């Protein structure tokens, strides 16, 4: 069985690692970036009809000022982000299933002014005609280096699970920096956008059936069990 490499930041890394171990997988890897808050100012909540949020990191790193926005419904990219919003005292307007653009498209036809809370690295969105968006950056991802052990193990192949575009970009940087052979590695990715950001040259790139950790790890397990 191939080794599964996880590179998402904490606390997600530990959650995914435990799940993968419970599935009987050989797990390696470490976060390729850490997430930290940035200073930001909260605009007048009365100007907005809701929040557009693409990551649970918004609620982990948004600071105390985010409490001023709890009266606004959260349109969350997926279940994990929606759960983080609820735990922070927010009500959920809509939960997406296919990425932030798909979520925004579901709101098409409504006249909305949304406050988007995001990280420094974020996907560009196509706005429906009646929707306006103001963006506030509340966190950033700080790059980390791949460990020597992971570099050595990946040179012989394996499966990498990618939970985000940021992880896909960091993986490419590390492979290029260490002159590693992408053709030895299979990628399991959480959605089409992440697959695009992962680039070319991998042994295979497979997209999970749905953008969730359980679906992604199920795909990764199947790839790990595939014969060479």
Structure tokens at 28: 């390696």
* pTM score, whole prediction: 0.81
What the chain holds in terms of domains, given with CATH numbers, is 4-32+144-224 (3.40.50.10090), 35-140 (3.40.50.10090)
Residue range 52-79: average pLDDT? 95
Q: Are 18 and 219 in contact (CB under 8 A)?
A: no
Question: From start to end of the chain, where are the E strands?
Answer: 4-6, 27-28, 33-37, 50-53, 74-76, 92-95, 112-119, 131-143, 158-162, 185-189, 204-207
Spatial distance between the Cα atoms of 64 and 61, rounded to a whole number of angstroms = 9
Can you give the length of the chain in residues? Answer: 228
Residue range 115-142: average pLDDT? 93
Position 143 scores a pLDDT of 92
pLDDT higher than 70, residue 227: no
Q: How do residues 167-197 score in pLDDT, each as one tens digit?
A: 999 999 999 999 999 999 999 999 888 999 9
Structure tokens at 162: 């990618």
Q: Are 182 and 198 in contact (CB under 8 A)?
A: no
Spatial distance between the Cα atoms of 100 and 58, rounded to a whole number of angstroms = 14
Spatial distance between the Cα atoms of 8 and 55, rounded to a whole number of angstroms = 13
Alpha carbon separation from 62 to 93, 117, 224 (Å, rounded): 19, 9, 36
């Amino acid at each position: 069985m191939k080794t599964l490499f996880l590179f998402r930041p904490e606390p997600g890394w530990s959650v995914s690692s435990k799940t993968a171990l419970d599935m009987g997988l050989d797990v390696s890897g470490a976060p390729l970036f850490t997430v930290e808050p940035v200073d930001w100012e909260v605009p007048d909540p009365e100007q907005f009809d809701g929040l557009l949020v693409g990551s649970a990191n918004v609620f982990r790193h948004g600071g105390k000022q985010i409490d001023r926005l709890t009266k606004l419904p959260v349109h969350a990219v997926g279940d994990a982000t929606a759960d983080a919003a609820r735990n922070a005292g927010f009500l959920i307007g809509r939960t997406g299933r296919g990425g932030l653009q798909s979520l925004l498209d579901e709101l098409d036809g409504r006249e909305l002014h949304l406050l988007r809370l995001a990280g420094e690295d974020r996907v560009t969105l196509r706005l429906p005609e009646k929707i306006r968006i103001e963006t506030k950056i509340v966190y950033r991802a700080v790059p980390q280096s791949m460990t020597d052990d992971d570099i050595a193990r990946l040179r012989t192949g394996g499966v990498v699970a990618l939970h985000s575009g940021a992880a896909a970009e960091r993986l490419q940087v590390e492979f290029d920096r260490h002159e590693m052979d992408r053709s030895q590695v299979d990628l399991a990715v959480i959605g089409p956008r992440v697959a695009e950001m992962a680039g070319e040259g991998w042994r295979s790139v497979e997209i999970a059936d749905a953008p969730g950790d359980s679906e992604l790890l199920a795909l990764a397990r199947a790839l790990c069990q595939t014969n060479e």
